[in-house]
Amino acid sequence: MLAGMERRWRNPDIRVAALLVIDMQRYFLDKSSHAYVPAATAIVPGVQRLIRLFRKHKRPVAFTRFAVADDEKDPVGTWWGRSIADSSCDGMISKHVRPKKEEKVFRKSSYSPFRGTDLERHLRKLGARQIVIAGVLTNLCCETAAREAFELGFDVFLTADATATYNEKMHEATLLNLSCGFATPVHASDLRPLRPTP
């Protein structure tokens, strides 16, 4: 699927990388939620593995959560017909990937983790030149984060096995699109570029 894309891929270097964990919230991981992503349960071990790795190497781990305040515009809610209120328990980070006290959680009110937040400044202050992306949804918030991070000058790595969305076609479409011009697809287990398949 990704054959021919790999000539511009890079090798990640954890010494200059930050981990960005996108929207691992109860809204997407709780089976009782209308927005539950079944594949999100499967990626929890991979996300946990990445978090442990970055913490072990004392590299930044940043989290985002999507939630809309009462006075904010809500284009995501307008599109889908429902959203997450900032006051809702559904907007909280899942207990499976809880941030440490010193790790920052950036609330966002759209697909973008950078618009209206201090995420870029935070990452640059901590010396991050590369961003490894994990979380949900692959084709919406993760893809938006990857494209924006690339435009901001970061080297971007999208974890194929630590991101999830509602179906495999959407997931693979994002991997294909991003690997063409925005991000190197990697395995969470070893942070090496994927081996393309014909």
Q: How do residues 150-190 score in pLDDT, each as one tens digit?
A: 999 999 999 999 999 999 999 999 999 999 999 999 999 87
Q: How confident is the model at residue 135, as a pLDDT?
A: 98
Cα–Cα dist 156/94, whole Å: 24
Architecture of the domain made up of 15-186:
3-Layer(aba) Sandwich (3.40)
Question: What pTM value is reported for the model?
Answer: 0.93
Instruction: Quote the CA–CA distance of 166 and 172 in Å, as a whole number.
Output: 11
Report pLDDT digits (tens) over 60-91. 999 999 999 989 998 898 999 888 988 888 89
